[in-house]
Amino acid sequence: MQSFGEGLDLPGTLCETVFIAKLPFASPSDPVEEARAEWLKREGRDPFSELVVPATGIRLLQWTGRAIRTETDQARVVCYDKRLLGMSYGRRMLQGLPPYAVLRRVHEQTFAVPSVQ
């Protein structure tokens, strides 16, 4: 999924809907990220808030960008991860995206984030 989210270019009608099953958190086993997290902890700071959330927000932005490649593209991005709207860090990630209209389907516990021009 990571390579799809960052490298695929399907403009226009080739990609009108992107489905995201869960937020694109990276694997916590990366040695460089572990070292950064340990340093932040020693400094009394929060690695999740300062490292993980921003990196995941950037990946989410890249993934949503798969559907909008030109100025005339219109698409829908559907995220099924309820953390996007239900957790404060998810709402922070959502604020980092372009000003999409946000629809929420509470009865199905799915969240739709359709893009707008």
Q: Give me the CATH number covering residue 43.
A: 3.40.50.300
The distance of Cα 105 from the centroid of its chain, to the nearest Å, equals 18
Taking the model in full, what pTM does it have?
0.75
What SS3 class is residue 21?
Answer: coil
The pLDDT confidence band at residue 100, using thresholds 50, 70 and 90, is confident
Alpha-carbon distance of 5 to 28, in angstroms, equals 19
Tell me how many domains the chain contains. 1
Average pLDDT, the chain: 81
DSSP state of 28: T
Check whether 82 has a pLDDT greater than 80: yes
Q: Are 24 and 64 in contact (CB under 8 A)?
A: no
Question: What's the pLDDT tens digit per position in 11-30?
Answer: 667 777 888 899 999 877 88
Domain that holds residue 33: 2-114
Question: Rounded to the nearest 5°, which phi and psi values hold at 113?
Answer: -125, 85
